[in-house]
Structure 1
Amino acid sequence: MYNNVEAQSVAPKPPSSSQPNPFGNAFYGAGSGLIRGGLGAYGEKIFGSSSEYVQSNISRYFSDPQYYFQVNDQYVRNKLKVVLFPFLHRGHWTRITDPIGGRLSYKPPIYDINAPDLYIPLMAFGTYVVLAGFSLGLQGKFTPEALSWLFIKGLLGWFMQVMLLKVTLLSLGSGEAPLLDIVAYAGYAFTGLCLAAIGRISLKYSYYFLMPWTALCMGIFLVKTMKRVLFAEVRSYDSSRHHYLLLFIALAQFPLFTWLGNVSVNWLI
């Protein structure tokens, strides 16, 4: 009895009136395949190559920090000669390329005198702060607070030099130079400032000769270096505008050196 009741209570399903649509299935299969393929390719592009993308951009704009500290005594001596006496540099100003794995790279400073480094700028910056503090001590104005302000003044001057070089490259449509390259080039200014500070301490009046001299040499060095960077990065540029900007970089060294070389309690002047 239970089987009959159960059999009667279950209504038979009506036959489906809709006929199979081969076009709908085809469109559905193609659409789902397109979506899966598109999302898969897009996801692989984002996540699969994200590390390669980040690595390539980091090396493009920041480069490897260890690269800038591959120096030796011979490189330091020769580099100081190039920075302080750039008109005596008889060699070329271009960097030596070193293609690795199909990518363009450059020889480290230990093998190339024209390569930028951060060892000399950092050492020169520290020496500049020490000499500035010693100069204040000779004037009887040394305080820890004054030394801190001189440290900040030096960092601000370094930052202004970096911005000057970076804006010049961007104005000519070339912002591809690694940031650490620009930081290194800007930091070489402290080598001349150290020389002028030594002149102030040892021979007071020699400062007024060494300051414009070191500013002029730094301007020549930056013009030679920036011309090499600009010619390498900029494919099309206005020649007259290019030379005006290089002249502006050279002239800007004089007020910058005068401001950084003026060691006083008031770091704003």
Structure 2
Amino acid sequence: MDFSAHSGFRQRKLPPKMRMRTTSTDSTEPSPLFEDTSAGPGAAGYGRGQDKGPAGYPAQTLLSDPMSNLAMAYGSSLASQGKEMVDKNLDRFIPISKLKYYFAVDTIYVGKKLGLLVFPYMHENWEVSYQQDTPVAPRFDINAPDLYIPVMGFITYVLVAGLALGTQNRFTPESLGMQASSALVWLIIEVLATLLSLYLITVNTDLTTIDLVAFSGYKYVGMIVGVVAGLLFGRTGYYLSLLWCCVSIFVFMIRTLRLKILSEAAAEGVLVRGAKNQLRMYLTMSIAAAQPIFMYWLTFHLVR
């Protein structure tokens, strides 16, 4: 039944533009004004370009290029050659391989060596052990020189000196730097003077510069003991402990360097051996006697 015919109303036809607007208004999901490109270059055509794989990315195309692989291999070879050249030139000036030998220590060796530096009187065998014409590592031989104790002794001495100055209200950063620089300068002067004396006397020995640095650095142990005793017991404790450590380091240096400096005397003639033997003995005594002098010179102003 047509109600419009009886009621007299006519159905009005809308223009095409009005019909499109009405349809878009009634839609529950409006179309976006812009495309979402936040997911990457392939997000816009995800539904249409799924057949395109990851080979379309420029980075993966570059990695799959044979020329890029060749360039990476060539760069790696250049880096390895440069590292070998640097290690070779560095080892020429700083013997890294030799330094590793002087730091090859363990806790047992350090404890025994500290005891030997403070109580060297009961030790009998002072010869360094060898294996296939090369000295064994310090952790296997207590008589072998090392650099661990001298380096740690130097650092500890500087810290103890700062503590001693702080207890007397005399601590400043400049004074701490002066303590470290003066101790280092005197050590260098001592080693250079020993090398010059060995050259003038023409002593053929297996002592190296690093050995002399190690032996000269052992005196820091006695210096630390003296300063700590001075902080705990006053000047009396300082003098008593420093005197003990000075005698100990003197005996230690005499018994150690005697085998190093006088080792070639047996292979020479009687006349030559008698003349040079005295010079070598004087040199050994001088090196050993210099240790107590430096120990007192570098510590007497720290205890009051």
- TM-score between both structures, scaled by the size of structure 2: 0.62
Which structure is richer in relative contact order (CA contacts within 8 A, separation 6 or more)? 1
Per mean C-alpha deviation after superposition, the further-off stretch among 228-237 and 127-136 is 228-237
Q: Which residue of 1 aligns with 2:228?
A: 198
Q: Which residue of 2 aligns with 1:48?
A: none
* Structure 1 counterpart of 2:283, from 245, 248, 264: 245
C-alpha distance 63-83 of structure 1, shift in aligned 2 (>3 A): farther
Q: Please, what is the CA RMSD of the aligned residues?
A: 2.7
Q: Which residue of 1 aligns with 2:110?
A: 76
C-alpha distance 130-263 of structure 1, shift in aligned 2 (>3 A): farther
Q: Which residue of 1 aligns with 2:128?
A: 95
* Structure 2 counterpart of 1:119, from 148, 152, 160: 148
Give yes or no for contact 2:253–2:288 (8 Å, CA) kept in 1. yes
CA distance in 2, matches of 1:180, 1:167: 15
The CA deviation at 1:246 is 2.1
Q: How does 1:47-86 map to 2 (within 5 A)?
A: 64-86=98-120
Counterpart of 1:133, as a letter, is: G
The CA deviation at 1:222 is 1.1
- Identity of counterpart residues, as a percentage? 30
Give yes or no for contact 1:199–1:210 (8 Å, CA) kept in 2. yes
**Structure 2: segments with no counterpart, 5+ residues:** 1-84
Residue deviations 1:162-208 (CA, integer Å, cap 9, x gap) = 23432343233236522111111111110111111111111112111
Q: Which residue of 2 aligns with 1:5?
A: none
Q: Which residue of 2 aligns with 1:134?
A: 163
Compare CA radii of gyration and give the structure with the larger one.
2
CA distance in 1, matches of 2:253, 2:210: 15
CA distance in 2, matches of 1:164, 1:209: 29
Q: How does 1:9-20 map to 2 (within 5 A)?
A: none
**Structure 1: segments with no counterpart, 5+ residues:** 1-50, 265-269
Counterpart of 2:149, as a letter, is: I
* Structure 1 counterpart of 2:135, from 106, 130, 135: 106
- TM-score between both structures, scaled by the size of structure 1: 0.69
Per mean C-alpha deviation after superposition, the further-off stretch among 233-242 and 215-224 is 233-242
Q: Which residue of 2 aligns with 1:31?
A: none
Secondary structure class of the residue paired with 2:131: coil
CA distance in 2, matches of 1:162, 1:178: 10
Counterpart of 1:93, as a letter, is: W
Give yes or no for contact 1:135–1:263 (8 Å, CA) kept in 2. no
* Structure 2 counterpart of 1:210, from 231, 241, 263: 241
1:224 aligns with 2:258: no
